[in-house]
A and B are shown apart, each in its own frame.
Chain A
Amino acid sequence: MLYVQAVINGLLVGGVYSLMALGLSLIFGVMRVINFAHGDMMVWGMYLSYWLFVRLGVDPYVSILVTGAVVFLLGAVVQQGLVNRILEAPHEMQILLMLGVALTLENLALVIWGPDPRRVNTAYALRTYWLGPIVLDLPRVATFVLALALALALYLFLKRTDLGRMIRAASDNRVGALLVGTDILKVFALAFGIGAACVGAAGSLMSPFLPFSPSTGIFFTVTSFNIVIIGGMGSLLGAFVGGLLVGVSESLGAVILVPSLKELFSFVLLILILLFRPQGLLGGSR
């Protein structure tokens, strides 16, 4: 029963992981840029929710709208102002640039909010329900449902709207999209913004049950990397499934080993995937 509980908790956290990884997968899929600041953008989403909650009493599930928008702008500015300028530079320079952005964001959070771990203490933070022998906590369930809803909204946006089609066109064939008159740099800024908004919203969604500090960002970055590789780089469905899988494997790792070794499972999973199915579980051929 302990394991069933662990799997359920893992799935519930996995939903937000999926949303976070969808953002990274979108950014990589369209621009081929590895967003090393991904986790830091998430932490910014968490802190913005924290601020709105402490100062104005806005519930984190409502403040997603604000954090999503702010982190969207942040992402769009990073792409438009920085990455777009060095599209022709060697690959490692883009990595360096994103590392610089990550360093700046992480420490700016440290300057503004200090090093102490914080958490958004909502009134319902500790409310739980019993489903037979299984415990469900309200914030985790609400977070899971909202994360799924946002992931679905992103999917519909990319598949059904003109803007979404433009982004997918730029991702599938950059030159082709350029030839039919797509303003590729604007599309890039939009895509980075949307990817960032996903992770910013994921941050808000996690803030009610996960304590965070500026240095948490790097762990989310690495977790997002794991998920998109496991699921398949550039595959949205892969990122989604990978998120759930990593959520469950961490949760099981914490129960089977010790909590401080919970990531070991997902790293071993990552290495196995890299070796035997490098295109990822649901990725097409590279």
Chain B
Amino acid sequence: MKRRVVLGIAVAAALAVLPFRVPSNWQNLLISTFYYAYLGQAWNILGGYAGQLSLGHAAFFAIGAYTSAVLAIHLGISPWLGMVAGALLAALLSLGIGYLGFRFGLRGFYFILLTLAVAEICRLVALHLPILGGYTGLFINFTPDPWQFQFQGKIPYYFIALGFLGVASGIAWLIQRSKLGTYLVAIREDEDASEALGVDTFRYKMVAYAVSAALTAPGGTFYAYFQFYLQPNTVLNINHSVDIMIRPIVGGSGTILGPVLGSLLLELLGEFSRTYFAAGVAGLNVVIYGILLIVVVLFLPRGVYPTLTHLMRRPAAGRRP
């Protein structure tokens, strides 16, 4: 226990000093790592613990982004408050989708497609809503003011992303330790059996979905005030939903550290392919990234974190004759 506390303090101190000691491109890499780990952690609650794979989390992300931006632009409401409103709206949408999907017993591929279809409908609608800027997109004016979620330089964003990740991981940890977490894992492993044992699967899947959606939305707010530009075809793109879901799966879905390790690994692979292959031909770096992703799946088919823990246990087991 004591060793864990010391380790925790050391990691916290390192993370606090880190952004001041590295060049600006590394700052970007770290922000991106935390940010995707945060989104992955949010996805993980539904997709990892409860095993309900969603390919439509871009919808919740977009609700968080657009709600905060529109409220700030038209009513002057601080994005910090808009973020909360976005989270509530995202939870509401997730409850709507969940009610329809889970009520009618949609599982596996059918649930994936339901979430994907809803996100695509959101994209088509957003493209045709004038208040969201349509095809041109929505521009946010830069006025440095922390209350407006706008900062000079990268370092504040680093700490916000890190803080978001900390909160989401804390929530995931609390869920994992609680009865809810046990029920969710039971649903993932065998839904029919857990229902037969009296677990209210519908209710717990709804809770997991709402928490996951509500956590995803602030990621959208962060994106809006980091990029200062929103366009439906990027924010609500299927590829964006894919980006949200691949990191926790690579890292090991249904584990706290999975999304973090997956995000770090993919960020490094992405940076590697950009550094060495982006200069010449357009698209080559993504080809390399795609191949690396395939290689990771082939060599770590259980995810990074489960493989690591397995390797760390092996020597002990190996000592036996």
A→B interface (CB under 8 Å): 28, 34, 82, 85-86, 88-93, 95-97, 99-108, 110-111, 114-115, 214, 218, 222, 225-226, 229, 233, 258, 260-261, 263-264, 267-268, 270-271, 274-276, 278
A-B residue pairs in contact (CB < 8 Å), sample of 6? A89-B301, A101-B290, A103-B287, A226-B117, A229-B110, A270-B117
CB–CB A101/B294 < 8 A: yes
The listed residue (B100, B106, B120, B297) touching A100 by CB distance below 8 A is B297
| Nearest A-chain residue to B285, judged by Cβ | A107
CB of B84 within 8 Å of the partner chain: no
Smallest Cβ distance from A252 to chain B, in angstroms? 16
Mark B195-235 against chain A: 1 for CB-CB distance below 8 A, else 0: 00000000000000000000000000000000000000000
Mark B281-304 against chain A: 1 for CB-CB distance below 8 A, else 0: 111101101110110011001110
The listed residue (B114, B121, B249, B293) touching A274 by CB distance below 8 A is B114
Smallest Cβ distance from A225 to chain B, in angstroms? 6
CB–CB A97/B100 < 8 A: no
Given contact pairs A92-B249, A96-B293, A222 touches B239 in the complex (Cβ within 8 A): no
Identify the 7 closest CB pairs spanning chains A and B, nearest first: A110-B283, A104-B290, A103-B290, A89-B301, A100-B293, A107-B286, A100-B294
**Complex: A105 Cα to B121 Cα, angstroms:** 26
| Nearest A-chain residue to B280, judged by Cβ | A111
CB–CB B249/A96 < 8 A: yes
Among A96, A102, A261, the one with the most B-chain Cβ atoms within 10 Å of its Cβ is A96
CB–CB B110/A107 < 8 A: no
Which residues of B101-124 have CB atoms within 8 Å of chain A's CB atoms? 101, 104-106, 108-110, 112-114, 116-118, 120-121, 124
CB–CB B116/A110 < 8 A: no
Smallest Cβ distance from A220 to chain B, in angstroms? 12
CB of B53 within 8 Å of the partner chain: yes
Chain B residues with CB under 8 Å of A28's CB are 109
**Complex: A263 Cα to B290 Cα, angstroms:** 28
**Complex: A182 Cα to B169 Cα, angstroms:** 48
CB of B33 within 8 Å of the partner chain: no
**Complex: A226 Cα to B116 Cα, angstroms:** 10
Among A91, A102, A218, A267, the one with the most B-chain Cβ atoms within 10 Å of its Cβ is A267
**Complex: A216 Cα to B282 Cα, angstroms:** 17
**Complex: A274 Cα to B109 Cα, angstroms:** 11
Given contacts A111-B284, A226-B113, A229-B113, 6 further A-B contacts (CB under 8 A): A89-B297, A97-B298, A100-B290, A214-B283, A263-B120, A268-B121
Smallest Cβ distance from B158 to chain A, in angstroms? 28
CB of B264 within 8 Å of the partner chain: no
**Complex: A197 Cα to B286 Cα, angstroms:** 25
B→A interface (CB under 8 Å): 47, 53, 100-101, 104-106, 108-110, 112-114, 116-118, 120-121, 124, 127-128, 238-239, 242, 246, 249-250, 253, 281-284, 286-287, 289-291, 293-294, 297-298, 301-303
The listed residue (B47, B113, B124, B281) touching A111 by CB distance below 8 A is B281
| Interface majority SS (helix, strand, loop, mixed), chain A | helix
Smallest Cβ distance from B160 to chain A, in angstroms? 29
CB–CB A99/B246 < 8 A: yes
Smallest Cβ distance from A16 to chain B, in angstroms? 21
Chain B residues with CB under 8 Å of A263's CB are 120, 124
**Complex: A258 Cα to B128 Cα, angstroms:** 10
Given contact pairs A103-B289, A278-B110, A82 touches B239 in the complex (Cβ within 8 A): no
CB–CB A97/B294 < 8 A: yes
CB–CB A260/B100 < 8 A: no
Chain B residues with CB under 8 Å of A82's CB are 294, 298
Given contact pairs A92-B53, A278-B105, A111 touches B282 in the complex (Cβ within 8 A): yes
Chain A residues with CB under 8 Å of B249's CB are 92-93, 95-96
Chain B residues with CB under 8 Å of A90's CB are 253, 301-302
**Complex: A261 Cα to B124 Cα, angstroms:** 6
Chain A residues with CB under 8 Å of B253's CB are 90, 92
Smallest Cβ distance from B237 to chain A, in angstroms? 8
**Complex: A185 Cα to B97 Cα, angstroms:** 38
The listed residue (B128, B281, B293) touching A103 by CB distance below 8 A is B293
**Complex: A159 Cα to B47 Cα, angstroms:** 39
CB–CB A97/B297 < 8 A: yes
Smallest Cβ distance from B45 to chain A, in angstroms? 15
**Complex: A107 Cα to B290 Cα, angstroms:** 9
Given contact pairs A111-B283, A275-B100, A275-B104, A100 touches B110 in the complex (Cβ within 8 A): no
Chain B residues with CB under 8 Å of A222's CB are 116, 120, 238
Smallest Cβ distance from B232 to chain A, in angstroms? 11
The listed residue (B104, B116, B128, B283) touching A225 by CB distance below 8 A is B116
Among B101, B249, B293, B294, the one with the most A-chain Cβ atoms within 10 Å of its Cβ is B294
CB–CB B284/A107 < 8 A: yes
| Nearest B-chain residue to A95, judged by Cβ | B53
The listed residue (A85, A270, A271) touching B298 by CB distance below 8 A is A85
| Nearest A-chain residue to B294, judged by Cβ | A100
CB–CB A104/B287 < 8 A: yes
**Complex: A56 Cα to B281 Cα, angstroms:** 26
Chain B residues with CB under 8 Å of A105's CB are 290
Smallest Cβ distance from A147 to chain B, in angstroms? 24
CB–CB A108/B294 < 8 A: no
CB–CB A86/B120 < 8 A: no
Chain A residues with CB under 8 Å of B47's CB are 92
| Nearest B-chain residue to A86, judged by Cβ | B301
Smallest Cβ distance from A215 to chain B, in angstroms? 9
Chain A residues with CB under 8 Å of B242's CB are 99
